[in-house]
Structure 1
């Protein structure tokens, strides 16, 4: 059962990656009507029709008919990018002022008041285990 669910979800993600929405599905009838128009008027096959409207010859055939807006997959919503960029011209100026080194007199002398190399018995390790 889990394999079936995983395959179903994978298929759903695959279909969603094609970016097909319900509006495109409803426009398939317009696609078939326009393809039959091309077959009657120009004698194009279905693959030539797809090449003229979605393939390499799209730019040459773009402005020939008014029905091109009704064809599916003509919207470019997947190409939209909503990125907000703000360009702020900020000028930074750094003033480097050279200051001469002033020698500070050494007036601190630390003397250890208590120094013992032998530790008291309290800090020695135990003698009997």
Structure 2
């Protein structure tokens, strides 16, 4: 229930590759729009040497049995920083787990288990030897 409350508060749900955007208004109730979109997005900071903050995406994903989430992370700048990231996922007991995505100088890509969970994808990353700004997509 806590995850669903956060989904509605943040205003977006990603369901089977289609975003259900809930535009909540204080006085008029709820307006629902359907848009085709294949991924959620976010931005993050990879701190030097140690994990930076947990950065959540701009929308949530509602999974199903066996569902996986693809993360693609683009490293900003040209300082030759090696960035390593973990992605939020869920095990068979629907418990949050952090799964290694990859380490790279430019683009990181991988899938993590998601299953039958409604939640917001997130990443946490670190850079070596420097920190770096990141942009990510998930879906």
Both structures adopt the same fold (TM-score exceeding 0.5): no
Q: TM-score range by the shorter chain?
A: under 0.3
Question: Which protein is bigger by CA-based radius of gyration?
Answer: 1
TM-score, with normalisation over the residues of structure 2?
0.17
Q: TM-score, normalised by structure 1?
A: 0.17
Q: Which has the higher helix share?
A: 1
